[in-house]
Structures are given as C-alpha cells and as structure tokens.
Amino acid sequence: MLGKGVVGGGGGTKAPKPSFVSYVRPEEIHTNEKEVTEKEVTLHLLPGEQLLCEASTVLKYVQEDSCQHGVYGRLVCTDFKIAFLGDDESALDNDETQFKNKVVGENDITLHCVDQIYGVFDEKKKTLFGQLKKYPEKLIIHCKDLRVFQFCLRYTKEEEVKRIVSGIIHHTQAPKLLKRLFLFSYATAAQNNTVTDPKNHTIMFDTLKDWCWELERTKGNMKYKAVSVNEGYKVCERLPAYFVVPTPLPEENVQRFQGHGIPIWCWSCHNGSALLKMSALPKEQDDGILQIQKSFLDGVYKTIHRPPYEIVKTEDLSSNFLSLQEIQTAYSKFKQLFLIDNSTEFWDTDIKWFSLLESSSWLDIIRRCLKKAIEITECMEAQNMNVLLLEENASDLCCLISSLVQLMMDPHCRTRIGFQSLIQKEWVMGGHCFLDRCNHLRQNDKEEVPVFLLFLDCVWQLVHQHPPAFEFTETYLTVLSDSLYIPIFSTFFFNSPHQKDTNMGREGQDTQSKPLNLLTVWDWSVQFEPKAQTLLKNPLYVEKPKLDKGQRKGMRFKLCLQTQNFSLTESTKERAVMHQRQLSLPLTQSKSSPKRGFFREETDHLIKNLLGKRISKLINSSDELQDNFREFYDSWHSKPTDYHGLLLPHIEGPEIKVWAQRYLRWIPEAQILGGSRVATMSKLLEMIEEVQSLQEKIDERHHSQQAPQAEAPCLLRNSARLSSLFPFALLQRHSSKPVLPTSGWKALGDEDDLAKREDEFVDLGDV
C-alpha cells in the first residue's frame, strides 16, 4: 500500500521498489526514543510570565558542519522569552554548569535579545519579517549577545510551525508600547516578593543627599552646589531631579532654556579642576532670539571661566568627534564576524579575518574614544584646566567620555560599587536613552546605537591591560552587557529618570495605587548564586595599601613587577595558542584621524558653537595639543604603575584587542583548551590557596588551635577542564576542520607546504 501511494500508479503484479528514505541518523532515533520515555521537561515561568505559543518535535541543531546533529524538544514563546525545552541531560544540567544564570537559561532568549530572524527555504536563507505566505523548514535566530540558534521544523506539525514562527516574529519585531514591556508585568506580579540585596551599596543619585555625598568625596563642594530646582521635573524632563552646577550660577538660569546651555558638573579632580557637560541651545533663525541666547551664554560662561584662576577648555563631541552613525555602522559590520551559523562559515571567514576586522573600524573607534579621554585627562591633570564637554543633548558621547575620564583618574570608580555608581550617575541619571539606543520598543531602528556597549568595550581594554587596578573582572563586564536585554531590571529600560518615575506611578495622578518597586541590575543575587558571583570579583585586585610614606615607594615598585610578570606570562601564552584567530590588528599605521584640538578660550567661540553655527574654522588644529598629549602619555607609561592613582591605557595598534570573552564565547572553534587568561588566573589562585594554607599552619602554631581550611574558588580549581570560553563553556568538542581552510589558499601556494607550516602551530593549541 505504501508503494502504491508513493508512486501513484495502478496495481501491477510486480512489487514496487521501496521509495522510503530515512533522513534521521541512528543516534538521533535513539535520542528521540529516549526522550519519549522520559518525563517532559517543565517550562519554568517567572512571576507575571505567560505562555503565548509552542511547537513540539523541534530539532535544535548543534553548531556543526552539516547541521544534522541535535536534540529534539519543544520550542516555546512567552511574553518574556523564547525557550527550547530539550533533553535535560544533554544540557549538562549538573554541577559542571557552574556559572548559571537563574533568570535566563542556556536555551533561553529574551525577546529583547533577538537581533535578526532568518528562515531557510529550499536551502536558501532569507530574513523573516511581517506576515509570511510560506513558512520555513529551518529557523535561525541571531541574538544581540551573539548567540546563534538553529531549529529544524521539518518534523513539526504544520499548524504548530505557523503558530510558533508567526508568534516569534510578532513578539520580537513588532513595535511595542512602553507599558507593554514585560518589566511591568514582572514588577506587578512580584511586587510583594521583591527583596533588595542589603550588600548592594551602589549610589543611585536619585536624592539630593547622594549628590552632596559625591561632591564631598571629590572635594568639589568648594566650587559647586547640588540643586533641587528640577524636583518633580518642573523645569526639564530630560534632566534628573537633582544635579550639580557651579556655585555662582543663579538657579533661575537653569529654568531659562529648560536646562539647555547650563554647565552641569560631572566630577572634580584632586587639583581643583573639574569635568563639566552642557547640552546645546535650540537652533533659532530669529536674530532677536539669537541675541538673547548670546547674552545668556556670555553670562553662563563667565561663571566657569575666570582667568587666571579658572580656565575652561571646551570639547565639542557633536561636531568634532565620532558620530552616532559611525558607531552603529562599525558595530553592524563588526558583529557579523561572530554571528557564525556553523563551522564551515567560521573557517571560511578565517582567511579574511584581518581585513574584515580592520574594515569594520570598531577597534579604531575604541582607540579614538580612549585617546579623547586621555586628552581630556591631560588637560585636567597636567594643565589644571576645567573641561566642558558639549553635545546636542549631552546624553550619548558625553556619558561615554566623562565616564572614561573618571575611570582613568578616580580609583574609586575602579571598585565594583564605584563603577556601578558611576554608571548610575553618568548614564542612568545623565539621561542616556537606553530605551531608544537598545531599540527595546522596536519603534525606530535608526535610533539604535550601541553607545553603552562601546563604553564597556573601552572599559574592558583598561581591565585587560591593568588587571590589578580593577575590583571587577571581564566576566562582570560581559554579564553586565547581557543584562541590557533582560527586562526585569529597570536600569537599562528607560530614556530618562522622568520616564521611569512617571511609569512607575511616582509622578502619576493616581495617588491610591502603590508605586511599582522595580529591580536594579546591581542586585546580582537575582541572576547568580553566591558561588557564581565569585567570578565577578577580581582576586588579583590590589587594594589600597595602608602604609606610611617610607613603605609606599617600595610597595609600588613591587606591585609593578608583579603586574609586568603577569602580563608577560599571559601574552606569551596567548601568542602561542591564539593561532586560530588573532584578537588585534597587526602593528601597522592606523587610520589617522584629523588632528582635533580644543576650542580657543574666547567666549564668542563657545556661543557660536552652542548656537549651532559651523565651527570648523574655530578649531585649534595646532601641534601644541598633540605634543602635550604625547609628552603626557609617554611620561606616564615610562613610570611604574600606581593602581590607585592615574591610569592610562596603551592605545597603539595591537594594544587595542577584541573582547574575546564576549564576542567569541559561543564559538567552539575559537576556544583555547586550558589556555588564555583563565588558565593563568587558575594557576595564580592555586598559588594563593597554597600561601593561605601555609599562613594557617603558621597561625595554628601561634594560637595552638585548628584554623579553618580556606576554600579556594572552586570554580577555577581544575584548570585542565577549563577553556578560554570559561565560564560560559567548559570543554567543548574539537573542531574537525583544519586550522587553515586549505581550499581557500590554493592561490597562495602548495597545500602540502601550507599544511606542514601550520603543523608547527597545531600542537600548541592543545597546550
């Protein structure tokens, strides 16, 4: 009967040739039978989370050449995430999954984390959006955290395919209203169960007391004052309720142009110089209004520029620095290097790695940001000048540069609490439009620009170059970047404090309803268990020594030698094993950006700039600034590093590297087994454990009692089981591909010669 049905013919006497062909491998049949007999995996829902649609008999592929291996299970879509529920044993759900996020699982994708959705039709990959007339046999999801998921729908019922594909497209790509975010559903459902972490001492800067404390900490209270003129957002919805301005500035001036054209304090240096920011006045064509604005700015300028006692340098970041379009274009190219569908695609891009990396310009943008921050640091530290950052709304590049300057100059910002407080002050209260820049509402793709991610990448360069200076680790920065897309935290889901307070009910007219209590991302216990949180704290962090003056010089030299040895060991290891994919560009002359200097100090130049006039003729392009910068930069790097003083990054060619942990962590072919920084860290922790054990034995002799055994961070105990992808992956499968894709190198020489040359390096990969 089967044969007749297949061939579609009449009933002849000759038996038909069997036409059934199995496309399922024996191991897949075994896996499928095993799953059927097991208990169905339960879908865990957060408070307020609702199931929207699902499909069964979905095959989730592993990242393999032929994409024929995988796990069967259910694919579900809720109002919070897309989740795959497969074989719980294959997910390695045991003690070896040591760095486990309690909110987002290994096979979970929050709806805000979805970047692009593709469908495969007859082996052709197409972008999916809107209403579909035909549904794909394979679904590919590219995530903003650079994960790639592939699901085979060939064995799923047609109706279920339509529901799940349409549901995923709609709930990840359709424009949303702010109140429809899962953030509010979760906050409402969990309102009575929300418990804040008592150990979280992050300064939120939502009270006048917080700003006064920061002024006192930085000794800025002699020249600047915290004001409450915007309390209740009466003056400007863009500014926070409380902020700091120069003491001589009358508060009524803040109200004049709704906070525009006002120098707002960011930070004060130990020598009295300060970092300020200002948003431009609205552009006007009327000569009368222009004259009023000019007179207003002239008065404002005199409050901060009083030579010879106070001199101000201005930096226009809107016209004389990066554009947001440059950042977005560069990152769009850069991320494609890491959104790899399979091993074949990985090796095909390997031959073009340097050219693709350079053409993206992402590393060059990082270099330019760090260089700009060093220039401003030199102006404040060496020349004792105030610096005024100018931008249209002072909420994008102002946040980026001011934060980098404070990281370089203020050791408090290099502690975890200090860093979190810095982000609260400069980004959250500074009015950075996280909602638009991350495109959480999917309302305007043109507004999406990864400014905050660029900042974290710049911070990683500093952490990578000066590990003992930071209390937090690169893993901390990586999970912080992931938290941008988890809509249970309010930190990165509003455009301004006013928008947050209004939608939380604090500014609403309904006084009967209780304001929502939204979580902040700084409560890390929501995402990670205490054991996993140990990976967020740097065990090599050098705390400020409490020594007398005679001891400090020797300690500083000793710490410098320790760091140089640490860096030498690590760099040697990386050069030996990172043959698979280089993480920085070779030492070649980078694209030279036009020489840019500070504005001249005349008041008229500042006024013309803020009024939106063309300012290219006013830029001081002399070599004086470049000479000062080079002298300052070289002088600092020629001395031993003081981890609790000024900290400058190296910005020459190969010193700016790819943030490997964030960008390569989901690509098995890019791992280094038992190598990279994690291996070095593991060995150092073993040494620390041994020293602690010896110290305990000494104490035991002195006190004649049994001292408790110190427990080393168990997450790094067995270095043989670790790879460079740790803690986001343990040992993964070896790639079956050669290190060099010989099929693409035929034009460069004989394949045998290339294979022989590459064999010299292959064995090093297993070191």
Q: What is the pLDDT of residue 498?
A: 97
Does residue 43 sit in helix, strand or coil?
A: coil
Residue 367 · residue 649 · CB < 8 Å: no
Provide the whole-model pTM: 0.83
Helix H or strand E segment including 125:
strand 124-127
Strands in 138-143's sheet, in edge-to-edge order, are 108-110, 81-85, 70-78, 51-61, 148-152, 138-143, 114-121, 124-127
Q: What is the pLDDT of residue 572?
A: 39
Place of tokens 């343990």: 730
- Looking at the chain, the number of H-run helices and the number of E-run strands are 24, 14
> Which residue type is seen at 289?
I
Instruction: Kindly report the average pLDDT of the chain as a whole number.
Output: 80
pLDDT band for position 540 (50/70/90)? confident
Residue 655 · residue 649 · CB < 8 Å: yes
Annotate 264-303 with b (16+ C-beta within 10 A) or e (fewer): bbbbbbeeebbbbbbbbbeeeeeeeebeebbebbeebbeb
Cα–Cα distance, 43 to 507 (Å, whole number): 37
CB neighbour class for 444 (10 Å; exposed up to 12, middle 13-18, buried from 19): exposed
pLDDT at 613 over 50: no
Mean pLDDT within 534-548: 82
- CATH number of the structural domain 49-173: 2.30.29.30
Helix H or strand E segment including 138:
strand 138-143
Residue 739 DSSP label: S
Q: List the single range of 23-37, 391-405, 527-541 with lowest mean pLDDT.
A: 23-37
Q: What is the pLDDT of residue 91?
A: 46
pLDDT at 557 over 50: no
Q: Tell how strand 243-246 and strand 224-227 pair up.
A: antiparallel
Selection from 494, 492, 495 nearest residue 482 by Cα: 492
Break the chain into its structural domains and give their ranges. 49-173, 206-455
Q: What is the pLDDT of residue 541?
A: 92
Place of tokens 């709930």: 171
Cα dist. 349→279, 341, 346, 584 in Å? 43, 12, 5, 16
Mean pLDDT within 502-518: 69
686's tokens: 């073993």
Q: What is the pLDDT of residue 414?
A: 98
Selection from 39, 99, 21 nearest residue 528 by Cα: 99
Selection from 378, 330, 339, 399 nearest residue 358 by Cα: 330
Q: What is the pLDDT of residue 690?
A: 86
Digit-coded pLDDT (tens) for 561-588: 444 444 434 443 443 334 345 677 765 4
> Which residue type is seen at 274?
A
Cα–Cα distance, 108 to 608 (Å, whole number): 52
Q: Tell how strand 124-127 and strand 108-110 pair up.
A: unpaired
Q: What is the pLDDT of residue 447?
A: 94
Does residue 448 sit in helix, strand or coil?
A: coil
pLDDT at 7 over 90: no
Digit-coded pLDDT (tens) for 424-467: 999 999 999 999 999 999 998 999 999 999 999 999 999 999 99
pLDDT at 224 over 60: yes
Q: Which of 533-537, 674-678, 744-748 has the highest mean pLDDT?
A: 533-537
Q: What is the pLDDT of residue 361?
A: 97
Q: What percent of the chain has pLDDT over 90?
A: 55
CB neighbour class for 372 (10 Å; exposed up to 12, middle 13-18, buried from 19): buried
Cα–Cα distance, 299 to 282 (Å, whole number): 18
Distant-in-sequence, close-in-space partners of 674: CB < 8 Å, separation ≥ 6: 719, 720, 722, 723, 766, 767
Cα–Cα distance, 515 to 191 (Å, whole number): 10
Selection from 728, 733, 724 nearest residue 145 by Cα: 728
Q: List the single range of 63-77, 470-484, 537-551, 591-605 with lowest mean pLDDT.
A: 591-605
Residue 746 · residue 760 · CB < 8 Å: no
Digit-coded pLDDT (tens) for 295-331: 988 888 888 888 888 899 999 999 889 999 999 999 9
Q: What is the pLDDT of residue 438?
A: 97
Q: What is the pLDDT of residue 602?
A: 41
pLDDT band for position 98 (50/70/90)? low
